Amino acid sequence: MQNYDNFSRGAHHKNVYEGTRIDSVPPTRPGIDGKTLIDWRKLGFFDTNTSRDLDENLFYLFLGTKPLTQRDLPLNTVEESVACIDNTKNLKALFAESLNIKMPYALQPITEKERMTLGTWLANGAPGPKTLSPPKETQSQVREWENFFNQKSEKEKLVSRYLYEHLFLAHIYFPEKPTDFYRLVRSETKCDKGISEIATRRANDTPGMKEFFYCLKHQDLTIVAKTHMPFSFTPKVMERFKQLFFSTKWEVNKKAEEEKYTSEAAENPFIAFFDIPVKARYQFLLDNAHYIISTFIKGPVCNGSNAVNSIQEQFYVMFISPESDNMVLSKEFEAKARDLLILPGVWGSDIKLADTWGLTKKIVEHREGYRNLRALETKKNHPHGYALSDLWDGDGQNSNAALTVLRHNDNAVVIKGFKGDLPKTLFFLDYALMERLVYNLVVNFDVYGNISHQMLTRIYMDLIRMEAEEMFLSFLPPQSRMSYRKEWYKGFLAEAKLKYVFPLLDTKTPTQVKYKNPKHAKSEFVEQVLYGYLKDNVKGPADFINWKNVRLPLEEAKKGPLTPAASHLRDISAVKPKGKFRFPTFFPEDAYLVVTKENKEVEVFTVMKNREHENISWILGESLRLAPKEDTLTILAGFYSYYPNLFFKVKETDLVNFKNQVLKISNINDYKELKKKYAVSRVAPDFWETYDLLNAVYRKDFPIEAGHLDLTRYVME
């Protein structure tokens, strides 16, 4: 419930994230798919604010008042909860049956004062607040941007459509009011006549009418970190858009722009936007790479371990330079390739289960055709192999050029810079890979779609990952490529899959990158990128806490020192277990460590477990491919978890003891002793105090990026 409208909407029996449904279901997106309470009731939502009589008010009765104890904690996680009571009679029966029913989400109750405040509000009919109007400071900018998006020529309309399909998930803000956010939507009515958002299943579905308008819809809601993707609209950004898309001469084909909403074209951006110069499209993606990758990470697709296990636990991301990209260099190449770049979204949200294998085979065949075509084009454009200069350097100023993705089991995070120790793999993206990621995982993906739609989306992501890894390998010495690949895909089945589904195409073309020792090619490559290619303002600060296998030049090492807290944490970060001491294995996927200094100021760190895998070749059976003896921790100063599993609280003066106790963990009982001393259990009296502190520090340190943290994955024990 991010605002009053969502409270009024009520609750629903069915889970949105249901990956096994046979048939798709109607979308139920807040503020989009229902405009009135009648709409929501038709979609199956039931009221939780059932009466002014508090004894008959479902919402109020759910607010438990009894403090939790360890014995009260359920065996299931909150995500696995199957109880969904929709009336007070059944809820009271449940209370009578089980005296241990307490606060929802198995957390400590709110205070009696807070409960009385809510009770008074509900008894008065739960009156809603006045709808906040967009701030006056930004009204002129809003109108200017809406005018930009609603220009009339076919060329301008095609560009607006391209931008909309990439920005529809963004929380847009203006510098004058940086914590006030908007969404870019399609409206039936003119923007100044009251926005009537067009609710389509996908952003690239036909709007269903010849004339519609792109509008900036003010967001009157509480920001949550897990879906918050801020995007700044400034005069400089508008000038950049104009420069990218309108400074060179190009024309729209005779086909009218609205005719390109057929599924064959709409779901394939290489067809739908073929007329727009490739360099403009690609440079837009590069300029905003952190946001673009966030749309997969924070969008609906990246939720649940079966969705996220298509990526490694940690990897660095870089991009091919536009001046070296095959599609940018040759429009003819894009014309040949576009029909091979078929995406699962073309078959909609209700793919028959019986058709899944045949469509998978078709996807693989088309993708292999494209790989072979790309290999020939690459040899033509780069006969002597790739050089460092073929990587995008951020034009010497853009910090989107080097990124890191870290996975936390069923979710992930993307960060600017190379963070964490030297990863197992690197992701290199060109235009075709980056655009396919956007359309497979964001624009074409339907979280309300059936099992086959979701499965094909996941399979295609698997193929994209291997292509991105293959592109990185092409920068390494030919004799090193296969050995690195074998490290990533251990096991008989994984090796067979690579041999028959994804054979390595090129082990002979040289690279122009110079290496001293091919056995250490990966670390040498990363060090050359960091200290011989990217400028300081592009690559960002060194990761002094975690870099153990990335060597620092002497002048870079002098840029420290670490804070006292970070210095101690370096001793437990990126450390592989030795002998019986296997402390990383017992840590949760991600936790926040709150370090309190003697002056009462706090320093917040994110502690993330990197689970080692033999391979990530399959959707199911992940637990069978784990290698826990190889697990490590990555520790970063700041906020890099949206679904924290645990909070630790340590006084700075006690950090040495905390570190030493961590290093001595050899079994689950040792870890429990650590938790007993330093962790904030969900039954702890100071649980909400700690949560409020974290949110307050987050907002203070990162006012634009901050949002409330989601507690549904907080550990039960």
pLDDT in tens, 431-452: 999 999 999 999 999 999 999 9
Q: Does 214 lie in the same domain as 315?
A: no
Q: Please return the burial class of 492, using the count of CB atoms within 10 Å of its CB with bins 0-12, 13-18 and 19+.
A: exposed
- Tally of domains within the chain: 5
Domain boundary among 98, 125, 152: 125
Q: Does 541 lie in the same domain as 634?
A: no
Q: In 10 A of CB 271, how many CB atoms?
A: 18
What is d(CA 283, CA 248) in angstroms, rounded to the nearest whole number? 14
> Within a domain: residue 439?
yes
Q: Which domain holds residue 450?
A: 300-548
Residue 571 pLDDT > 60: yes
pLDDT tier, 266 (very low <50, low <70, confident <90, very high otherwise): confident
Residue 74 pLDDT > 80: no
Q: Does 513 lie in the same domain as 387?
A: yes
3-class secondary structure, 185: strand
> Within a domain: residue 241?
yes
SS (H, E, C) 372-412: HHHHHHHHHHCCCCCCHHHECCHHHCCHHHCEEEEECCCCE
> Within a domain: residue 419?
yes
pLDDT tier, 506 (very low <50, low <70, confident <90, very high otherwise): confident
pLDDT tier, 139 (very low <50, low <70, confident <90, very high otherwise): very high
Determine the pLDDT at residue 453. Answer: 94
Q: In 10 A of CB 504, how many CB atoms?
A: 14
For 603-627, give the DSSP string: EEEEEEEE--BS----SS-GGGGB-
Average the pLDDT over each of 272-286, 472-486, 610-624, 641-655 and give the range with the smallest value.
610-624
pLDDT one-digit tens code per residue, 188-243 = 999 999 999 999 999 999 999 989 999 999 998 899 999 999 999 999 999 999 99
> Within a domain: residue 325?
yes
The amino acid occupying position 204 is N
The pLDDT of 493-505, averaged and rounded, is 76
Residue 122 pLDDT > 70: yes
Q: Does 473 lie in the same domain as 370?
A: yes
- Distance (Å) of CA 144 to CA 21, 148, 158, 214, 558: 44, 6, 18, 12, 48
Q: Does 617 lie in the same domain as 495?
A: no
CATH of the domain at 643: 3.30.1050
Average the pLDDT over each of 308-317, 482-491, 644-653 and give the range with the smallest value.
308-317
Q: In 10 A of CB 522, how many CB atoms?
A: 22
Domain boundary among 261, 277, 292: 261
Determine the pLDDT at residue 78. Answer: 61
Domain boundary among 208, 240, 261: 261
- The number of CA neighbours under 13 Å toward the Cβ of 310 is 27
Determine the pLDDT at residue 394. Answer: 98
Q: Does 369 lie in the same domain as 257?
A: no
Residue 634 pLDDT > 90: yes
Q: Strand order in 230-232's β-sheet?
A: 213-218, 177-187, 171-174, 230-232
The pLDDT of 609-637, averaged and rounded, is 78
pLDDT tier, 560 (very low <50, low <70, confident <90, very high otherwise): low
Q: Which two tokens stand for residue 534?
A: 């990217």
**Residue among 498, 514, 493 nearest 625 (CA):** 493
CB 100 within 8 A of CB 68: no
> Within a domain: residue 282?
no
> Within a domain: residue 588?
yes
The share of the chain scoring above pLDDT 70, in percent, equals 91
Q: Does 58 lie in the same domain as 184?
A: no
Residue 559 pLDDT > 80: no
Task: Look over the chain and give the mean of its residue pLDDT values, rounded to a whole number.
Answer: 90
pLDDT one-digit tens code per residue, 332-389 = 999 999 999 999 999 999 999 999 999 999 999 999 999 999 999 999 999 999 999 9
The share of the chain scoring above pLDDT 90, in percent, equals 70
Q: Does 483 lie in the same domain as 393?
A: yes
Q: Does 99 lie in the same domain as 216?
A: no
Residue 269 pLDDT > 60: yes
Q: In 10 A of CB 699, how many CB atoms?
A: 16
Determine the pLDDT at residue 574. Answer: 84
> Within a domain: residue 706?
no
Determine the pLDDT at residue 144. Answer: 97
Q: Which two tokens stand for residue 191?
A: 């923007």
> Within a domain: residue 556?
no
pLDDT tier, 94 (very low <50, low <70, confident <90, very high otherwise): confident
Q: Which two tokens stand for residue 52?
A: 């002014």
Determine the pLDDT at residue 255. Answer: 62
**Residue among 142, 219, 132, 131 nearest 174 (CA):** 142
| Residue count of the chain | 717
Q: Does 213 lie in the same domain as 325?
A: no
Lookup result for tokens 């004799």: 479
Q: Strand order in 412-416's β-sheet?
A: 412-416, 403-407, 314-319, 425-429
Q: Does 54 lie in the same domain as 40?
A: no
Q: Does 481 lie in the same domain as 389?
A: yes
**Residue among 376, 279, 285 nearest 328 (CA):** 279
The pLDDT of 621-644, averaged and rounded, is 85
pLDDT one-digit tens code per residue, 574-587 = 887 676 778 989 99
